[in-house]
């Protein structure tokens, strides 16, 4: 939430409720489905939307972290899960764990769960970089919530704090403080003056901020709320793809399409499942398609 940057992309210009609805739908469906094909379809759609929102670089840093996590899941799953009929590798006998036995089914299960994790993290990435925190707080905080103000202030001040930290560290280095020592304790001790300066400067800033808040009348009366967000055709269009998408997903889940049998042997994938998953993916790829059309054709830009 601290990294949002305004961009001239369709997803950034959506009403906050619409963007949140899209993101929430993806998270809900990723939790509802364990079928890898449907999860893969959601993942592919989400990737397209992330690319179209111009946050691919940010997503890459998420991906690095996610892949590490998926590797750990796969490792633990392979070591501890004994189920699965197709043995790929049989290792030595280890105390407590027993004989190492890596099966195709356990690897596929890890991959399926990994894709689910990627969808959830991707949705959070989209939320972090493409949805304005101010607008989210307005929706969550309602009228004049002090929590909303505290959150909004944190969002604004955190980057300042990061800048302060960098500047104070530079000032310390210019006074001969070296942070290059290998001894962790010594290094920690050298950071204490920085934290001290940071704290003192933050306290002074918070005092000035409190004074400014008082002079602008915060807390003197019941607050009203200013929201200047218009409904545009693009919001309606994205909703018109998201709502049927979630409806289709729920319907599929209710009819038993969401699950998938990994053990003892992998459930065969049918053509209808492939078709339905592609169909579901299409609903959720729609914002990306709309964005590209919006960027490419002036006519569409004018109309939506």
The binding site for another protein (CB under 8 A) comprises 4-6, 132-134, 138, 144, 149, 152-153, 155-156, 159-160, 164, 167-168, 170-171, 173-178, 180, 193, 196-197, 200-201, 204-205, 208-228
Dihedral sign, Cα of residue 31, residue 34, residue 38, residue 42: positive
Q: Residue 126 CB, nearest distance to another protein (Å)? A: 18
Q: Residue 56 CB, nearest distance to another protein (Å)? A: 17
Q: Which is nearer to another protein, 113 or 137 (CB)?
A: 137
Q: How many angstroms separate the CA atoms of 129 and 202, rounded?
A: 26
Q: Which is nearer to another protein, 214 or 267 (CB)?
A: 214
Cβ(103)–Cβ(85) below 8 Å: yes
Q: Residue 63 CB, nearest distance to another protein (Å)? A: 21
Q: How many angstroms separate the CA atoms of 42 and 283, rounded?
A: 9
Strand partners for 103: 87
Q: Which is nearer to another protein, 42 or 126 (CB)?
A: 126
Q: Residue 176 CB, nearest distance to another protein (Å)? A: 4
Q: Which is nearer to another protein, 99 or 212 (CB)?
A: 212
Token pair belonging to 304: 């939506």
Q: Residue 204 CB, nearest distance to another protein (Å)? A: 7
The DSSP string of 39-106 is HHHHHHHHHHHHHHTT-HHHHHHHHHHHHHHHHHHHHHHHHH----S-EEEEEEEETTTEEEEEEHHH
Token pair belonging to 244: 């049927």
Q: Which is nearer to another protein, 58 or 105 (CB)?
A: 58
- Helix, coil or strand: residue 15: coil
């Amino acid at each position: 939430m601290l990294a949002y940057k305004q961009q001239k992309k369709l997803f950034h210009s959506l009403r906050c409720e619409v963007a949140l609805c899209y993101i929430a739908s993806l998270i809900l469906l990723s939790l509802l489905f364990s079928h890898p094909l449907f999860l893969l379809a959601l993942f592919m759609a989400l990737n397209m939307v992330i690319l179209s929102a111009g946050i691919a670089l940010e997503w890459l840093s998420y991906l690095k972290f996610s892949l590490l996590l998926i590797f750990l899941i796969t490792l633990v799953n392979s070591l501890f899960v004994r189920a699965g009929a197709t043995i790929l590798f049989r290792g030595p006998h280890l105390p407590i764990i027993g004989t190492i036995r890596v099966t195709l089914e356990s690897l596929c299960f890890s991959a399926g769960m990994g894709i689910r994790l990627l969808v959830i993290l991707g949705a959070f990435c989209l939320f972090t970089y493409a949805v304005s925190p101010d607008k989210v707080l307005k929706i969550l905080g309602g009228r004049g919530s002090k929590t909303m103000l505290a959150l909004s202030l944190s969002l604004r001040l955190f980057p300042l704090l990061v800048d302060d930290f960098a500047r104070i560290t530079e000032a310390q280095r210019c006074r001969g403080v070296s942070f290059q020592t290998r001894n962790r304790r010594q290094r920690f001790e050298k950071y204490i003056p920085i934290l001290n300066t940071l704290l003192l400067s933050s306290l002074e800033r918070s005092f000035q901020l409190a004074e400014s808040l008082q002079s602008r009348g915060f807390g003197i009366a019941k607050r009203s709320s200013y929201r200047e967000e218009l409904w545009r055709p693009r919001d309606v269009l994205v909703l018109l793809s998201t709502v049927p998408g979630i409806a289709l997903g729920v319907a599929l889940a209710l009819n038993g399409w969401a699950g998938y049998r990994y053990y003892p042997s992998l459930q065969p994938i049918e053509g209808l499942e492939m078709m339905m998953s592609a169909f579901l993916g299409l609903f959720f790829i729609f914002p990306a398609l709309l964005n590209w059309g919006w960027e490419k054709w002036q006519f569409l830009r004018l109309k939506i």
